[in-house]
Structure 1
């Protein structure tokens, strides 16, 4: 008797067959890892993501830049008008984008769940026109990843429904084969992992409440990382906590080189700030993976020494030394703008949006402050252990999208 085929093996088989695939699953199930395994076997695969943060995390470029798709007001309303406008705009690297689209065999779109459906339709039309092939995405195999039960696409107009990618014509035409990963690796406690899975689906039953409600902390430790919904709240909280520490403030400006718009992209999407302000005893979070140096992305520690060319941080189990790190606008060719800064940030507060993809030892979360579907789940699922989760209060319910729930129920296997 043959053993059952795991979702991981099913994904690998479908991807190798040339099918268009949507790889989904709860937070911490290894979606990025499985796609990385495929792209390592097929290095000619084009790797993109729906957002700048996700693109930097996967070492690719945004889907907008890859396809030469402009964001903002567009002339006319038809795809043909949009395409003609792109073809005439030589100042934005459109020629390079045309070549990428023309010769691509396989395309990865990470976090497709945050990509508006209208933009996916643009991309589909764009690829068909450039390649002269009337097939979905011009015949390019598309491997997409994401979770529609996490962060949604940005709404262009308040009070309107979200423009989910799965509602687009391109999604239907592409015939994406959905594979859902089940095994959660981030949380090793089965009860905690099960509670998070229920939370993801908007279900808070007595069992989930009994497990999570005791995690409400009325007076949380200031050193706990707070996951907040807005950038200004993060800035205010980090500034306040730093100001409460004794001693002189240490300031380091990032060294940047290259076109202003590329530098602006890096500055907006990196976890590391352009102006890094620290003090001895400040709590910091590392923003890159450097296991050989003793730290990984999302790991926190306490500053014990601030130098011109290095910073010593105690992680609790060891003292590690961090040196300036350089990010590239184009990580594959190490071309375009560069941004050099110490790979860390103050860790008292971080937005939920920028925390997506991180694994944290501990965090303080205000679920009631969530203003977008899936936001509360994204926040609490960053934390590895139940003991590391601290809640401001207990929510009456979970903000989820019923359309996303319905799509998940109809397609997940």
Structure 2
């Protein structure tokens, strides 16, 4: 619909006549409060069925390694992806629940960064979901970027990192917005700001909508939905009491090895088995079979 708006002369063509490539994994989570596209309304399915060329990627890059333990972890993930809960898998996942992941502890002063309204609104509202109204900052804090800054260099919405320092103009202090926040962004691949620390990146404030603020938020915890597309160095996960298509698979597949994972609180085998009862799981598996049959 948006492409029809952008290309009104080609409204009679799907996607306004623009070439479209869809990239993703049907076994991960569908959009929040929505159905998977392959099980959606008839018009969405009609558009979905227009895609006739499929390329299937088979190599697992996140959980690399041929060690016995790593092979076992990959098999667990395969079973979860296929919604085939095994008691041996569940018992192995529950084993690390008593193992502590070494916490990163800091004692630091916390600085508040209050957003600035860059232009007035008649109703007095200054909401902009991409920029936080108030941010708490401290050295050593785990943070996440909240929008795309430089996609090619890894500075994208959801990128994780850590605060190294907070810099203010002379005479400014909290709750003023910092001049910039020095961060280490784990996925950064651009030019080195400091050759000694190649992933060091200064993040400056920007204006979006009616608000000016630093493009960061605290990230000591993220939802399973928000973790899609991320690879975490280590994680403590809580998959909750209910299951959505792909929730357990998405949560557990975010780490590289089983040693990087802790489940807290632990979950019962009955909860683990809920992955196979989701109504969209059978539809998803049928759709994957259909796509695989026409894969290049």
TM-score, with structure 1 as normaliser: 0.49
Partner SS for 1:196 = helix
Q: How does 1:14-413 map to 2 (within 5 A)?
A: 66-67=2-3, 98-103=5-10, 130-131=11-12, 140-155=18-33, 162=35, 164-166=37-39, 168-169=42-43, 170-171=46-47, 174=50, 176-189=52-65, 191=71, 192-205=73-86, 208-209=89-90, 212-217=93-98, 223=104, 248-255=109-116, 267-268=128-129, 270=130, 273-286=132-145, 298-301=159-162, 303-308=163-168, 309-313=179-183, 318=197, 320-326=200-206, 337=209, 340-392=212-264, 393-396=266-269, 397=272, 399=275, 400=278, 401-412=281-292, 413=295
Which of 1 and 2 has higher RCO (CA within 8 Å, sep 6+)?
2
Q: Is the 8 A contact 1:293 1:322 kept in 2?
A: no
Q: Is 1:250–1:277's contact at 8 Å kept on the other side of the alignment?
A: yes
**How many angstroms apart in 1 are the aligned matches of 2:134 and 2:82?**
39
Counterpart Cα distance in 1 of 2:38 and 2:152: 39
Is the contact made by 1:298 and 1:359 (CA closer than 8 Å) also made in structure 2? no
Report SS of the residue matched to 2:217. Answer: strand
Distance (Å, rounded) in 2 between the aligned partners of 1:294 and 1:140: 26
The answer as to whether partners of 1:356 and 1:378 remain within 8 angstroms in 2 is yes
TM-fit CA distance, 1:204: 3.2
Gaps of 5+ in 1: 1-63, 68-96, 104-129, 157-161, 225-244, 329-336
Deviations along 1:78-111, one digit per CA (max 9) or x if unpaired, are: xxxxxxxxxxxxxxxxxxx5342535xxxxxxxx
* Equivalent pair of 1:286/1:344 in contact (CA under 8 Å): yes
Aligned mates of 2:242, 2:75 — CA distance in 1: 21
Query: What's the CA shift for 1:395?
Result: 4.6
Asked whether the 8 Å contact 2:235–2:262 carries over to 1, the reply is yes
Determine if contact 1:360/1:382 at 8 Å carries over to the other structure: yes
Q: RMSD over aligned Cα, in angstroms?
A: 4.1
Q: TM-score, normalised by structure 2?
A: 0.64
Gaps of 5+ in 2: 169-178, 187-195
Tell me how far 1:355 sits from its aligned partner: 2.0
3-state SS, counterpart of residue 378 of structure 1? helix
The Cα shift of 1:277 comes to 0.8
Runs of 4+ in 1 over 6 A off after TM superposition: 289-296, 314-317
Determine helix, strand or coil for the equivalent of 1:355. coil
Distance in 2, matches of 1:177 and 1:293, equals 30
- CA displacement at 1:165 relative to structure 2: 3.3
Take 1:286 and 1:101, find their aligned partners in 2: how far apart are those partners? 35
Work out the CA distance in 2 between the residues paired with 1:327 and 1:385: 40
Question: Residue 306 of structure 1 contacts residue 312 of structure 1 at CA under 8 Å; is this kept in 2?
Answer: yes
For residue 178 of structure 1, give the secondary structure of its aligned residue in structure 2.
coil
Distance 1:152-1:313 versus aligned 2 partners, 3 A rule: closer
Deviations 1:326-370 (A, max 9, x none): 486xxxxxxxx4865434322211122222222221111112445
Is the 2:159–2:185 contact (alpha carbons within 8 Å) kept by the matching residues of 1? no
Report how far residue 200 of structure 1 moved: 1.6
- Provide closer, same or farther for how the CA distance between residues 375 and 257 of structure 1 changes in structure 2, counting only shifts above 3 A: farther
- State the Cα distance separating 1:275 from its structure 2 match: 1.8
Alpha-carbon distance between aligned partners in 1 of 2:15 and 2:259, rounded to the nearest angstrom: 46
